[in-house]
Each structure stands twice: as structure tokens, then as C-alpha cells.
Amino acid sequence: MSSPSDADAADGDLLQYVASSQLPMPWAVFRIHAFVEPATGKEHVALTLGDVGGDAPVLARIHSECLTGDALFSQRCDCGAQLEAALQRIAEEGRGILMYLRQEGRGIGLLNKIRAYQLQDEGADTVEANERLGFPADLRRYDLCRPMLAHFGIRSVRLMTNNPRKERVLTDLGITIAEHIPLQVNRNPYNEQYLRTKARKLGHRFKEYFGEAP
């Protein structure tokens, strides 16, 4: 069995802290913290508000990069709306963390994501489109969250998500999920099939949208 020092060393190899600064946002003045994966050079950030250390569970969101939704206001997904809603909730509470992981298009990258969009325009759902391009339905990884949370001394979170996989992975990594908070926003005519596919094929919780059996 690995000792805590072994785990700390492994986490250090996985993700390293770089720098922090203030980041004024529409809802509050957050702090942005930069991290890098030494093995790949890939960069990730965390946004924190208030004192997130200590034993009290921290309001948290794991958000994977979505250029089209987060920055270009795409209505094909709910990503940008989830990002904004999560940051607003953290601001309202005055304490929390958002981990922004650079894994565009469920891990397949931006260009392949646009290729997948083209297949979706032709009738494929999001899972089918990824698979036709030779990828699994979801390539995202969440093991980076452990060293990121450890950097801030966070051991327990109140997780804003509809994705039970995130909860399972964090639990397996030794992070306590004190509460699951749904984050269901921006259902619209352009993302109806997208949301139904997430519910039917990826197990996302959308009872408020579609009932028990979407």
C-alpha cells in the first residue's frame, strides 16, 4: 500500500502549481491559480473565493474547457451557462472553488470537436459523433483534481454537477462528497438532443428536465 508521501510525490508528478493572482469578475473578485502537467505541458486553472481550507465542505465545480460554450456563447450545449451559474453560486456563498480543466470536447480537442459538430449536423448524437471519429464517448480525466484540491487543503466538497462519474472519481481519489448539487441550466431548442443524450447514454441526472426516464 502506498504511503501518504508516495501519493504526494505522485500528485506532484501529475500536476504542479505555478502562480496566482486576483481576477475581478462580474460576481466577485476571485483568485486565479495556474497549474501545469509536467508530462504534457498542458495548463489548467482553479478559481477560488474566500478561505477554502479547513474541514468545512467547500462548494465546488469541476468544469472542462468548452471554447464554443464558455467563450463563444454556443447554445448547442449547456457548458457556458453552467460555468456562469457555478461562479455566481460561489460568489453568493462567498467561498468556493471552480477547477477549470483544459480538456476540450470531452477530451478529443477543439478541431475534433468541430468535426463531431459536423457529424451532429448530419444527424448523429454527441456520443455517436465521437465514436465515428474513433474516440470513446468521453475521454475526460479527473485525477488532476486531487493534487489541485490538496494544494488548497480541501478534503470535502459540495459538488455542483449532473454527472455521477465525477462524484465516483472524486470518491475513489479520497475526496469526500458532502453534498451533490444539481446544475441544470439553459435547456433550449438547440441543445435538447444533447441533454437527452447526456441523460440516456452518459447517465447525467436531468430529472427536472425529462423526468425519471428521459
Residue 82 assigned as binding residue: yes
* 166 annotated to bind ligand: yes
Would the annotation count 197 as a binding residue? no
Contact 101, 61 (CB under 8 A): no
User: Is 65 labeled as ligand-binding?
Assistant: yes
User: Annotated binding residue at 61?
Assistant: yes
Active site residue 143: no
126 marked among binding-site residues: yes
Q: How far apart are CA 103 and CA 125, in angstroms?
A: 20
- Cα 36 to Cα 19, 42, 127, 149, 184, distances in angstroms: 10, 6, 29, 14, 30
Q: Are 65 and 101 in contact (CB under 8 A)?
A: yes
* DSSP 8-state secondary structure symbol assigned to residue 123: T
> How far is residue 34 from each of residues 22, 53, 158, 182, measured CA to CA in Å?
12, 18, 22, 27
- Residue in 11, 138, 146, 158 annotated catalytic: 138
211 CB burial (10 A radius; 0-12, 13-18, 19+):
exposed
161 is in an annotated binding site: yes
* Whether residue 138 lies in the annotated active site: yes
CB 157 within 8 A of CB 57: yes
First to last CA, the chain: 42
Annotated catalytic residue, options 140, 141, 146, 155: 140
Residue 145 annotated in ligand binding: no
Establish whether 108 is an annotated binding residue: no
Give whole-number Cα distances, 108 to 70, 103, 114, 163, 168, in Å: 17, 7, 10, 18, 22
Binding residues: 61-66, 77, 79, 82, 104-106, 126, 161, 166
Binding residues for Zn(2+): 66, 77, 79
Q: Catalytic residue numbers? A: 138, 140
Binding residues for GTP: 61-65, 82, 104-106, 126, 161, 166
